[in-house]
Amino acid sequence: MDTTSLTGKELAAALRADTEQRAAALTAQGTAPRLVLVVANDDPASGWYVKSLQRAAAKLGITCDTTDLGADSTADAIRAELEKLSSDPAVDAVMLQTPLPPGVGLNDVSSAIAAGKDVDGVSPLSLGLLASGLPSFPPATAEAVVELAKHHGIPLAGRHVAVVGRSNVVGKPLAQLLLAENATVTVCHSRTTDLPAVTSAADIVVAAVGRAGLISGEHVREGAVVIDVGTNEGPDGGIVGDVDAASVAGKAGALSPVPGGVGPVTTALLMRHVVQAAETARTA
């Protein structure tokens, strides 16, 4: 069987073009959309991601500033900064970078981000709004899975989707987004008994655990769609997904590549969220 590659390049390009146009319109009206990244770590991977977001924003006409609180910052200091930015009318969007300092959990501080500026959908309020079917910004990675499927003409309504992973940033919000598309969703996790039996019964398998090669050919039925959200460091230092692509290729009907699948769509959607937040703020 030929396995179709679910690349995200074309979709990401279309999203960026739309976002750039909308950002230019806002700038022409007075000020460019503004995103502030709050950092409280000295993690190299986080630093690389911040720089990649800054580059992506600059290309689209979005102002992107960084507030570095230091790796020894406290939960109180982080919350205070998030609250200050949330109440600042000159700031359209706020993102808190992880990891956080030792002893500080995301749930301890994320609720300080106003829902209208929580463009990465990490606060309990944003997640609650999403679960209730009310307007909110979903986590961009979870949204990217749904948008990538739609872009490639993969129907979701009535399909059985197995989501492997139950994190608050991908698995749980993705389940809510899929339910909104009328899919039947099974969320799998580390306590799931006989994972291959569950996933191989699904029409679509989404791997979002953070374990390289976890999903192999035995986890996938003939002709199923497999979307790989994983980004893990491979043996050669490159990026590999949660799916063992070699064993899935030729069995799955479609497979998203890593890199080049969900990743570019995630960044493009995040930038679109910034512009959407700015548009809403300008008309409030």
Distance, CA of 86 to CA of 93 (rounded, Å): 8
**165: annotated binding-site residue?**
yes
User: In the structure encoding, which two tokens stand for residue 244, read together?
Assistant: 């063992």
4 is in an annotated binding site: no
Please count the helices (runs of H) and the strands (runs of E) in the chain.
10, 11
Secondary structure of residue 207 in the 3-state scheme: strand
Q: Is 283 annotated as a binding residue?
A: no
The separation between CA 76 and the C-alpha centre of its own chain, rounded to angstroms, equals 26
Beta-strand (E) ranges in 60-180? 63-68, 93-96, 160-164
User: Do residues 230 and 209 touch, judged by C-beta distance below 8 A?
Assistant: yes
Tell me if 282 is assigned to a ligand binding site. no
* Residue at 266: amino acid letter: T
Distances (CA, A) of 8 to 17, 152, 259, 261: 14, 9, 9, 4
Where is the binding site for NADP(+), in residues? 165-167, 231
Where is the binding site, in residues? 165-167, 231
